[in-house]
Amino acid sequence: EAGVAQSPRYKIIEKRQSVAFWCNPISGHATLYWYQQILGQGPKLLIQFQNNGVVDDSQLPKDRFSAERLKGVDSTLKIQPAKLEDSAVYLCASSLPGANVLTFGAGSRLTVL
Amino acid sequence: QQQVKQSPQSLIVQKGGISIINCAYENTAFDYFPWYQQFPGKGPALLIAIRPDVSEKKEGRFTISFNKSAKQFSLHIMDSQPGDSATYFCAASTPQKLVFGQGTRLTINP
Residues A30, B71 contacting (CB under 8 angstroms): no
Under 8 Å between Cβ of A86 and A37: no
* Residue B8 C-alpha from the chain's centroid: 11
- Backbone angles phi and psi of A52, in degrees to 5: -105, 15
How far is Cα B109 from Cα B62, in angstroms, rounded to an integer? 18
Contacts of B34 in chain A (CB under 8 A): 100-101
Confidence of residue B95 (pLDDT cuts 50, 70, 90): confident
Cα–Cα distance measured from residue B15 to residue B109, given in angstroms and rounded to the nearest whole number = 6
Rg (CA), chain B: 13
Q: Out of A45, A98, A100, name the one closest to residue B34 (CB).
A: A100
Of A14, A37, A39, nearest to A104 by C-alpha is A37
Whether the Cβ atoms of residue B73 and residue B88 lie closer than 8 Å to each other: no
User: Cβ separation of A43 and B102 shorter than 8 Å?
Assistant: no
Rg of chain A's alpha carbons, rounded to an integer? 13
Query: In degrees rounded to 5, what are phi and psi of residue A91?
Result: -105, 135
Verify whether the Cβ–Cβ distance A56 to B97 is below 8 Å.
yes
Return the residue in A1, A24, A102, A109 with the most chain B beta carbons within 10 A, the one to mutate for interface testing.
A102
Is the confidence at residue A87, as pLDDT, over 80?
Answer: yes
pLDDT of B8 higher than 90: yes
Give me the pLDDT at residue B1, please.
57
pLDDT classification of B2: cutoffs 50, 70, 90: low
Please check whether residue A102 is in contact with residue A26, taking contact to mean a CB–CB distance below 8 angstroms. no
Mean pLDDT of A56-61: 94
Task: Find out whether the peptide bond into A61 is cis, omega within 30 degrees of 0.
Answer: no
pLDDT at A1: 62
Of all residues in chain A, what percent carry a pLDDT higher than 90? 86
Which residue in A41, A30, A21 sits closest to A106, CA to CA?
A21
**Which of B88, B100, B105 to probe by mutation at the A interface, max A CB count within 10 Å?**
B100
- State the pLDDT at residue A2: 77
pLDDT at B94 over 90: no
Q: What are the chain B neighbours of A44 within 8 Å (beta carbons)?
A: 100
Confidence of residue A98 (pLDDT cuts 50, 70, 90): confident
Closest chain A C-alpha to B10 CA, distance in angstroms: 10
| The amino acid at B100 | F
Closest CA to A29 of A67, A70, A72, A71: A72
Query: In B, which residues are within 8 Å of A93 by CB distance?
Result: 43
Residue A113 neighbours by CB under 8 Å, 6+ apart: A12, A13, A14, A15, A84
Side-chain-facing half-sphere of B48: CA atoms under 13 Å: 17
